[in-house]
């Protein structure tokens, strides 16, 4: 991870941490890395008010390197991924995903619809300071109609008739504000909506994928709803809710969809990729149904990388990033929602019953503030504590000790079918690190 790029592009508070100058420099560096001369960059954004200023900064940077820039307006992140793949173009999304309205961010996509690799981002960072910035105002040309290509593809990809069915959606006043209700209605559903206005001041405010209780309450208030879906600000995540108002997280979503895909012979090698944070209950559920789970680092692009390495067709994160490889090349909240509705039909059961089949084992996370993360990593104590925890659990639990990517902290996560054992091992491990390296 570099100075500017994190696990999902560059993010910060708009105009203070993420400045127009920085965005222009990153854009010039990216354009110079991938070439130019009549190459077109596709630009999409969420509803944040700062988005237009960053769109212009991106346009200045790319045009200075001989590129054309085409804005497609407000569109979910997976919409840009889809358009990049179908038009063989590079793309950029201006969004801070689930972060508050005062934040913004940028993330780039290659012509195959994939996010950039660590190596490509490191190379971009190495070039950032090598440019004199342009002062003239430059804006992108626009074609908002390209959004329809994305929604039409979704409708055509699913053989779904939702006539007579009612669903609840929360679009978090973000990038899915139009595409989600429009797509579901075209498939026949009655849609009860929240957050379906392009209001950048309200994006993610007590709603969306980080606040699924909004949809849970709406489902409970509307008898007859079959499911609810909460999307995040840029539309690449989805958290579901069953017909009783219970939250269905990314792990359970993957478990349900995996069985549906397996029954349709779409789950290549019967492998599901999740991250190190996914619950062990999902792994046990997959094993019972003839599937296996492989784990990656946290971050949906690392999930995607592992999926390519394993030739897997389903992967994702507990947080609701779910990648269904024969339908998308990145997390797509709306594809996830439609796939879950499809799975309910294929498996002939309601969402609460399907969700209950997947156990959730107790997990405990303790963050330990330390003076220097690298000192902890170099000391050998992490390997020692992993061995000790494995002996304690004796095959009935696991521990994960890792540094925070952004703070001077070591994160200790334990998991076990036994809450008491989970707590005992986690607290002992955290205390050992605190005693030796804590602040």
Instruction: Please give the structure tokens belonging to residue 425.
Output: 């091992």
What CA–CA distance (Å, rounded) separates 87 from 338?
24
Of 250, 258, 303, 299, nearest to 278 (Cα)? 250
Q: With both helix axes pointing from N to C terminus, report the angle between 250-263 and 333-347 in degrees, rounded to the nearest 10.
A: 50
| Burial class of residue 21 (count of CB atoms within 10 Å of its CB; 0-12, 13-18, 19+) | exposed
| Strands 398-403 and 409-415, sheet pairing | antiparallel
Instruction: Please give the structure tokens belonging to residue 241.
Output: 């809710």
What CA–CA distance (Å, rounded) separates 19 from 276?
33
Any idea what DSSP says for residue 371?
S
DSSP string covering 393-420: HTTS-EEEEEE-SSSSEEEEEEE-S-HH
Q: Which strand ranges, in their side-by-side order, compose the sheet holding 190-194?
A: 190-194, 166-170, 225-231, 238-241, 247-248
As separate numbers, helices (DSSP H) first and strands (DSSP E) second, the chain gives: 15, 18
CA distances from 149 to 144, 196, 206, 337 (A): 10, 20, 31, 19
What CA–CA distance (Å, rounded) separates 273 from 304?
8
Q: In the chain, what's the furthest Cα-to-Cα distance?
A: 65
Backbone angles phi, psi at 238, to 5 degrees: -145, 130
230 is a catalytic site residue: no
The residue written with tokens 């075209």 in the block is: 186
The active-site residue, picked from 95, 97, 110, 274, is 97
DSSP string covering 67-120: -EEEEEEE--HHHHHHHHHHHT-EEEEE--TTS-TTEEEEEEE-TTSPBPPHHH
Number of Cβ within a 10 Å radius of residue 226: 18
In contact, 177 and 47? CB cutoff 8 Å: yes
Half-sphere exposure of residue 147, counting CA atoms within 13 Å on the CB side? Answer: 23
Q: Which residues have a catalytic role annotated?
A: 97
């Amino acid at each position: 991870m570099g100075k500017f790029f994190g696990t999902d592009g560059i993010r910060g508070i708009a105009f203070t941490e993420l400045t127009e100058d920085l965005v222009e420099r990153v854009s010039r560096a990216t354009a110079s890395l991938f070439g130019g001369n009549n190459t077109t960059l596709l630009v999409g954004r969420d509803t944040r008010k700062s988005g237009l200023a960053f769109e212009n900064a991106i346009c200045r940077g790319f045009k200075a390197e001989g590129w054309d820039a085409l804005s497609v307006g407000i569109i979910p992140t997976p919409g840009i991924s889809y358009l990049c793949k179908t038009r063989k173009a590079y793309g950029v999304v201006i969004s801070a995903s689930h972060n508050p309205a005062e934040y913004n961010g940028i993330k780039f996509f290659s012509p195959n619809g994939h996010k950039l690799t660590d190596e490509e981002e490191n190379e971009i960072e190495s070039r950032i300071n090598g440019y004199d910035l342009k002062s003239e105002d430059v804006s992108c040309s626009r074609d908002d109609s390209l959004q329809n290509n994305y929604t039409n593809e979704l409708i055509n990809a699913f053989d779904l008739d939702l006539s007579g069915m009612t669903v609840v959606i929360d679009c978090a006043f973000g990038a899915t504000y139009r595409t989600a209700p429009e797509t579901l209605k075209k498939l026949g559903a009655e849609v009860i909506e929240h957050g379906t206005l392009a209001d950048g001041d309200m994006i993610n405010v007590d709603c969306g994928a980080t606040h699924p209780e909004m949809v849970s309450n709406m489902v409970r208030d509307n008898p007859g709803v079959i499911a609810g879906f909460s999307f995040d600000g840029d539309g690449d995540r989805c958290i579901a809710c069953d017909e009783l108002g219970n939250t269905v997280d990314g792990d359970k979503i993957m478990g349900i969809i995996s069985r549906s895909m397996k029954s349709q012979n779409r789950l290549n090698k019967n492998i599901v990729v999740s991250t190190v944070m996914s619950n062990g209950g999902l792994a046990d559920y997959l094993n019972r149904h003839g599937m296996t789970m492989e784990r990656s680092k946290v971050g949906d692009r690392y999930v995607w990388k592992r999926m390519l390495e394993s030739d897997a067709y389903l992967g994702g994160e507990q947080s609701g990033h779910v990648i269904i490889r024969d339908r998308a090349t990145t997390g797509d909240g709306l594809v996830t929602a439609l796939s879950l509705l499809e799975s309910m039909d294929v498996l002939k059961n309601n969402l609460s019953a399907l969700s209950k089949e997947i156990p959730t084992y107790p997990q405990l996370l303790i963050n330990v503030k330390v003076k220097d993360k690298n000192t902890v990593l170099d000391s050998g104590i992490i390997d020692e504590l992993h061995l000790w925890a494995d002996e304690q659990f004796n095959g009935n639990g696991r521990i994960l000790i890792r540094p925070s990517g952004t703070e001077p902290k070591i994160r200790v996560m334990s998991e076990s079918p036994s809450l008491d054992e989970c707590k005992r091992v986690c607290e002992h491990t955290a205390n050992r690190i605190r005693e030796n390296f804590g602040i």
